[in-house]
């Protein structure tokens, strides 16, 4: 006897399980030790440099660093890159951070002439065409503003971690930014994903709203999407490009 299949059973798509914020899984004593270690790292970095800058994207790792900088009172300047294509939730997150930490984040925007030149040559969304055009867009909206923001600094921080991508597996705490001629530090280089998310939730750090909607990594609105639970955490960045390198050009090395 054949089994009949109703029309609704045959047409309903399979359920999609999006990435979810991991629960707190790190024991409190270990988390407290990592917290103290991070605060000491930040203070040492600030002690050996004249002007340290930190560019925050407001995403998970950057919020760990933002919270730590304010908690340990390290003299590190925090700013953000307002690319002109940020999700509305990121702009809301900026206001949340400013209220939580009683501060004002300085915003660096792209030069209007650079944006106009890019649009005239490639169109507003020309970055969908190729890796080269994507890099050109990031160059105008992110790299040039970062270079401007870091003028006068002798060191800067990133929220990069070894576990984030194959291109970051050999990451160290400190390195030389040869392109900009200043020191560069990755204070979370050896942190696990579990430690990051446990820290945020245990210490009641503001969490970007898009993380709760399946976005483990957050960038510009048209270039970022939610991912499924089984995908790589950076799969939602520039998803249309078939590449293991999910970078925008902020962390380039001199050839």
The CATH number linked to 38 is 3.40.50.620
Q: How far is CA 92 from CA 83, 95, 107, 200, 210, in A?
A: 15, 5, 14, 18, 11
> pTM for this structure?
0.89
How many angstroms separate the first and last alpha carbons of the chain?
Answer: 69
Domain containing residue 52 = 23-111+145-216
Q: Has residue 233 been placed in a domain?
A: no
The answer to whether residue 78 is domain-embedded is: yes
Integer CA distances (angstroms), 157 to 182, 195, 215, in order: 11, 19, 23
Residues with a catalytic annotation lie at 248
Q: Is residue 87 part of a domain?
A: yes
| Residue 175 is assigned to a structural domain of this protein | yes
pLDDT in tens, the chain (255 residues): 445 545 544 566 667 899 999 999 999 999 999 999 999 999 999 999 999 999 999 999 999 999 999 999 999 999 999 999 999 999 999 999 999 999 999 999 999 999 999 999 999 999 999 999 999 999 999 999 999 999 999 999 999 999 887 778 889 999 999 999 999 999 999 999 999 999 999 999 999 999 999 999 999 999 999 999 989 888 999 988 876 555 555 555 544
Question: Total domain count for the chain?
Answer: 1
Closest to 81 (Cα-Cα) out of 109, 101, 53: 109
């Amino acid at each position: 006897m054949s089994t009949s299949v109703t029309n609704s059973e045959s047409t309903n798509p399979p359920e999609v399980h999006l990435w979810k914020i991991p629960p707190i899984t790190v024991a409190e004593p270990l988390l407290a030790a990592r917290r103290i270690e991070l605060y000491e790292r930040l203070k040492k970095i600030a002690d050996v440099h004249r002007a340290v800058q930190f560019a925050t994207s407001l995403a998970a790792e950057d919020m760990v660093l933002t919270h730590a900088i304010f908690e340990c009172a390290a003299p590190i300047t925090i700013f953000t890159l307002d690319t002109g294509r940020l999700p509305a939730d990121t702009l809301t997150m900026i206001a949340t951070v400013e209220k939580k930490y009683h501060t004002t984040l300085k915003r660096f925007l792209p030069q209007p002439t650079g944006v106009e030149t890019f649009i005239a040559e490639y169109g507003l969304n020309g970055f969908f065409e190729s890796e080269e055009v994507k890099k050109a867009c990031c160059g105008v909206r992110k790299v040039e503003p970062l270079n401007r923001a870091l003028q006068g600094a002798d060191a800067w921080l990133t929220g990069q971690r070894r576990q984030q991508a194959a291109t970051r597996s050999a990451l160290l705490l400190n390195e030389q930014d040869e392109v900009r001629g200043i020191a560069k530090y990755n204070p979370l280089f050896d942190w696990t994903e579990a430690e990051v998310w446990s820290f945020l939730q245990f210490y009641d750090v503001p969490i970007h709203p898009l993380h709760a909607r399946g976005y483990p990594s957050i960038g510009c609105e048209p270039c970022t999407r939610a991912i499924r639970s089984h995908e790589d955490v950076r799969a939602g960045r520039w998803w249309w490009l078939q590449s293991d390198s999910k970078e925008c050009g902020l962390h380039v090395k001199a050839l």
